[in-house]
Amino acid sequence: MKPPRRRGEARRGGPGYIWAKHLRTGVGRNVIDIRDLKLQFGDVKVLDGVTMKIPNNVIYVIMGPSGSGKSTILRVLNRLVELYKPKIEGEVYLDGQDIFKMPLSLLRRRVQMVFQIPNPIPTLSIWENVALGPKLNRLVKSKAELQERVRWALEKAQLWEEVKNRLDAPAASLSGGQQQRLCIARALAFKPEVLLMDEPTANLDPVNTAKIEELMLELKKEMTIVLVTHYPPQAARVGDWVAFLYGGKIVEEGPVREVFTRPRHELTEKYVTGKI
């Protein structure tokens, strides 16, 4: 028996069709494969059977109201959530490997995260903030390679031109938008396969928000981005695929354009039109 069609699959050549083909053929692989993920803190159920398949080179947006469990999904993907000792059921694979059986240091190298509030180490220099990860994790073999890696990461984060003459200045001397791009550079210095971004522009002005959105579109050529936002216009601007989460469940998912123009569920419609 054929597997059921995913949304948008019917229209040959449309975004949903390409996506579904992607999933069937494995072209570009599913970097992340979450199966029936359930999570609770004490008696409080936070995720209630979440299933997601995320191929590489896309921006996969998780949107939903406050408290729906968006950040928790990201924190499962890098296992940061284990700090709080939740009960977890279900499976999560990174490129076919069970993340719960993977050495944590390896997982964190492959899956990096950028947070809502820029969090560079303020007293360390701009250069050191980016160099620290590759240095401590022995990702480079020489000083020259480290220099090269730091410059590469700052260029990728579109910060190099602004800081190349002040690499020794403390990170705290940068503006908020620059600090967030520094955090992106710090994550990129690991050369991750997946970049988790938890409302990365929530504290930025429109100009800096636009810069980071542009940057995301550039970065997805080389990695997979999982973006959490509760700002639908951002999902519409940068996302390829979107999952709408409500009360720890995926209410609806599909190609961004379809979910925004023809939501199938009443809750999604209310959410994208700003009614909830």
Ligand X SMILES: Nc1ncnc2c1ncn2[C@@H]1O[C@H](COP(=O)(O)OP(=O)(O)OP(=O)(O)O)[C@@H](O)[C@H]1O
- 263 touches ligand X by CB under 6 A: no
Classify residue 155 as exposed, middle or buried by CB count within 10 Å of its CB (0-12, 13-18, 19+): middle
Q: Collect contacts of 5-12 with beta carbons under 8 A, ≥24 apart.
A: 6/254, 7/253, 7/254, 7/255, 7/258, 7/264, 8/254, 8/255, 8/258
Among 11, 21, 24, 84, binds ligand X (CB under 6 A): 84
- The answer to the question of residue 71 lying near ligand X (CB under 6 A) is yes
Distance CA 113, CA 73 (A): 12
If one asks whether residue 69 binds ligand X (CB under 6 A), the answer comes out as yes
Tokens 């719960």 found at: 100
Report the residue number, 84 or 106, with the smaller CB distance to ligand X: 84
85 lies in the binding site for ligand X (CB under 6 A): no
Single out the segment in contact with ligand X by CB under 6 A; choices: 39-47, 100-108, 175-183, 262-270: 39-47
Q: Which is nearer to ligand X, 191 or 230 (CB)?
A: 230
Interatomic CA distance for residues 129 and 248, integer angstroms: 35
Q: Are 62 and 264 in contact (CB under 8 A)?
A: no
Q: Does 180 bind ligand X (CB under 6 A)?
A: no
Determine, following the binding rule CB under 6 A, whether residue 250 of this chain makes contact with ligand X.
no
- Cβ partners under 8 Å of residue 11, min gap 6: 17
Pick the binder of ligand X from 70, 110, 149, 186 (CB under 6 A): 70
**Interface residue with ligand X, options 1, 2, 13, 66 (CB under 6 A):** 66
The pair of three-digit structure tokens given for residue 68, joined into one six-digit string: 């729906």
When the beta carbons of 131 and 243 are compared against ligand X, the nearer one is: 243
Q: Quote the least distance from Cβ 84 to ligand X, whole Å.
A: 4
Nearer to ligand X, 79 or 230 (CB): 230
Please answer whether residues 186 and 120 qualify as being in contact, where contact means their C-beta atoms are separated by less than 8 angstroms: yes
Give residues 186-245 in contact with ligand X (rule: CB under 6 A). Answer: 230
Q: Are the CB atoms for 109 and 167 separated by under 8 Å? A: no
22 lies in the site for ligand X, by CB under 6 A: no
Positive or negative torsion for Cα 166, 172, 177, 180: positive
Q: Which range binds ligand X by CB under 6 A, 24-32, 66-74, 168-176, 202-210?
A: 66-74
Task: Point out which residues bind ligand X (CB under 6 A).
Answer: 41, 44, 46, 64, 66-72, 84, 230
